Structure formats: C-alpha cells, structure tokens
Amino acid sequence: MVARHALENLRSIALVIALLFPLGLLHAWVLAEVSAALVDMLFILHSLRTKNFAWAREPWFIAAIIWWGWLTLCSVPIPSIGFYVCGWTMGFLEAVVILRLILFTAALQSWLLTTPQARRAAWLVLALSALWIGLESWQEYLTGQNLFGDRRWGDGSLTGPFYKPRAGDLYGHLLFLAMLPPVMALSAKPGRLRPLAGPALAILGVVTSVLIGQRMGTLFTAIGLATAALFIRKLRRPALAAAAIAVLVLLLTPLISPATHAKLVGETSRNLSHFALSPYGELYTRATVMGLIEPWRGWGYNGFRTFCPLPIFNRGLPALGIAPTSTALFACNLHPHNFYLQALADAGFPGLALFTIMMLTWLVTLARRLWRQPDPLRVGVFACVLTFAWPLASTDEFPTLYMSGWLFFALGLGFALAQIKPEPTPDKNNA
C-alpha cells in the first residue's frame, strides 16, 4: 500500500513538471529542457520499479527508435568523400539527445496521461497556449505592438507574443487541437443562438490565422480545417463558411492589413513564379544535391548547417533543368527548411525512408478508430500532427525544441487518447 502511494505521488509530481513543458516552449526554453529531462528520469525510475517496459514495444516507439538510431550512426564523424568528413562531434551529441523527446512522449502516453483528469489538464495547457498566441496577435494588429512592446516583423507578419515571427506556424499547428472541443460543445447547446457560437469561434480562429500573415501558418490552418470537416460531418458547413470568410478577409487585406497582403499574396506569388531561383528553391536544391552526393549515410545531424558551404555542392539538378546553386543566393542556412530534405541531407535515402515511415506510423496510430468514432480532441490532435508531418511545407529544424517540442507533447496526448477503448455508442452526427 505504501509503495503504491509512493508511485502515485511520483506520478503526480512528474505530471506537474510535464505540464510546465508547453509554458517553457512559449517563453523559457530552459524550463522546457529541464521539464523533459526530469520527466524522463522519473519515467525510467518508475519503469524500473514496476518492471514495466511495455511502452517500448509500441509500434510508434519502435519506428522512432530505428530512425533515431540510424541518424545517430550517420552522425559519427568518419571520413567520406576525399578529405571531407561526414558527421561532426556536436552533431553526434545533438543526435544522441533526441532520445529525450521520444522518451518524453512515451512517458506522457503510458504513465502521465492515463487518466481523464490528466488528459484534460494537458489539453487545457495547449488550448491556453493557442489562446495566448491568438490574443497577442490581435493586440499587435489593433494597437501596433504586443504586450512586450514588439511590433510587426519586417516582412509584415504579426509576431503574437514573440519577438520573432513564430506565431503563425505554431498557431496553425495548435489551432484545431485547442478549438475543436469547445466548438463542438458550443454547437451542441440548446437554444436559437447558442448553436451559432461554435461556428463563430471556428471562423474567428481561422480569420486570426490569416491576419497573422504567415504562409505556412495559413496552410496549416487550411489543412486542419479540411481534416476537421473530413472526420466530423457536423462541422462541414461551418468549415465551408470559415473557409469562405477567410478568403474574403484575404481579399480585403489590401485595405484592412496591407502588410499581410504583401506577405501572403505578393511574396508568395513572387517565390512561386521562379521557385527554383527563390531562397527556398536554392535551399531545397542544395539539400537534394547533398543527399545525392552522399546517398547512403548523408552528412550527419545538422550536417546541412556545417557542410553546406563546401564547393562540392555548387551544383544543380540538370535532369530537372535546375541551375547550380549559389551561397550568394541564400543556398545555405541553419537547416534546409523542410523535414524530409533535412532527413535526406542528414542520413541519406535510408534516413529519409525511416523518417517517412516514422511519420506515417505516428499518423496511423493516431487515426486508430478515428473514422468510426471522431472524438473532437482526437481529431484536433491528428490535425496538429498532420500539419507537422505535411511534406510540402517550409519548416524549422527537426526536432528543434521550440517548435518540434509541441509535436512531441501533442503526440503523447494523442497516443494516450488512441489507446482508450471507448464504449460503442451510435454517432448521430456521422451516421
């Protein structure tokens, strides 16, 4: 009895620490790192005391460990072409510690979020984070600056509660995870006007994403909206209304937000008109060339950052009619701005294949029974992870904590929800 009480106390302490993780991701990355490290240590201690390592046999965990193992192996510094060395010491160490995020996700799924109260608390933390980003974006739009005195970024996008343009992508990732449960709850309330509150909230959330003015954030919002409408029949008409109003707002941006129009419409059209020669095209071509030159093991984790300036990569893709890249045209950066091209540059085609399999395994696990029983929170988590896994997107580095940390927290919540076997009940909304 005493031992069981001690285990419950350990779990409660670890849960509180884990709920600090999103707060750290917002404004104190050190807090997020400490939170993940402490949860991992307590989780391993719990597993050792209970002799329960069933979580290590989960398909999603096995897929993640195989990808991580190959990436770590590819990051060991050994000679490759001529005198060049694939991998580097810091990259190898950074690859090793990626394991902390995989363990953190396993701890959330199989230990910390196994009760309805814990899952509700995890959702609430994520929902409040999305609300905070949305409110600060509106404050910056209406008053010219956020709570901290930061103004629009130079490219016209709103920064929300941050000093850099991070709000759009993160808001697009979290929006439907945070919004779908209250939207469905409000839509179910009786009365003449109360059912309109749910669709109104959905429209407000989508319009906020457009006004933030970041291309990827707007794309992620569109993906989330389509996902919600696909799974939840009752949301299809509100989703169409939200999409129509979002398009109308976008058409009005030359009047109501010229900076947003310049970013979403002007800059996007310029990049797409000559994409291969745009900064993104240069990055993608350079990463592809790096993968083709070292196709089996790539250049190690963060190899793009370290080796991209080497002259051996001053090539193009003649088969596709793409001219050689140039560092003068921004062909090199901290990362290639795409998870899948990063996987290729870091660990070759095997690494790309393993990364793709990992992402698909995660999505399949989250989609378990989702079509037959489309719980709003589960649909929201699926939409969140899908926007991270979407291949045609400009991204941050994977898995840099300040952005990908949200992915692993959402995965932990989603996997915990997916393993629950709800009682079969008729679904009138999706009959």
Q: Which residues contact 269 (CB under 8 A, 6 or more apart)?
A: none
What's the pLDDT at 266? 81
Q: Supply the range of the domain harboring residue 197.
A: 2-52+98-272+367-422
Using only C-alpha atoms, what is the Rg of the chain? 22
Burial label, 379 (beta-carbon count in 10 A; 0-12, 13-18, 19+): buried
User: Is 355 a member of any domain?
Assistant: no
User: Is 357 a member of any domain?
Assistant: no
For residues 40-51, average pLDDT? 95
Q: How many residues does the chain have?
A: 431
How far apart are the C-alpha atoms of 225 and 383, rounded to whole Å? Answer: 8
pLDDT interval class at 424 (50, 70, 90): low
User: Is 147 a member of any domain?
Assistant: yes
Q: Is 100 left (phi over 0), alpha (psi -120 to 50) or beta?
A: alpha
pLDDT at 343 exceeding the cut of 80: yes
CA-nearest of 409, 347, 6, 421 to 177 is: 409
pLDDT (tens digit, 9 = 90+) per residue, 149-170? 999 988 889 999 999 999 999 9
User: Is 89 a member of any domain?
Assistant: no
Please report, rounded to a whole number, the percentage of residues in the chain having pLDDT higher than 90. Answer: 72
C-alpha separations of 423 from 109, 126, 225, 373 in Å = 20, 26, 27, 10
User: Is 394 a member of any domain?
Assistant: yes
Compute the mean pLDDT over every residue in the chain, rounded to the nearest whole number. 90
How far apart are the C-alpha atoms of 79 and 379, rounded to whole Å? Answer: 46
How far apart are the C-alpha atoms of 207 and 217, rounded to whole Å? Answer: 12
What's the pLDDT at 431? 40
pLDDT interval class at 225 (50, 70, 90): very high
Number of domains in the chain: 1
User: Is 66 a member of any domain?
Assistant: no
pLDDT interval class at 43 (50, 70, 90): very high
Q: Chain-centre distance of CA 255, in angstroms?
A: 32
Range with lowest mean pLDDT among 128-137, 305-314, 415-424: 415-424
pLDDT at 358 exceeding the cut of 80: yes
User: Is 263 a member of any domain?
Assistant: yes
pLDDT at 295 exceeding the cut of 50: yes
Higher-confidence position of 4 and 282: 282
User: Is 327 a member of any domain?
Assistant: no
pLDDT interval class at 71 (50, 70, 90): very high
Please report, rounded to a whole number, the percentage of residues in the chain having pLDDT higher than 70. Answer: 93
What's the pLDDT at 79? 65
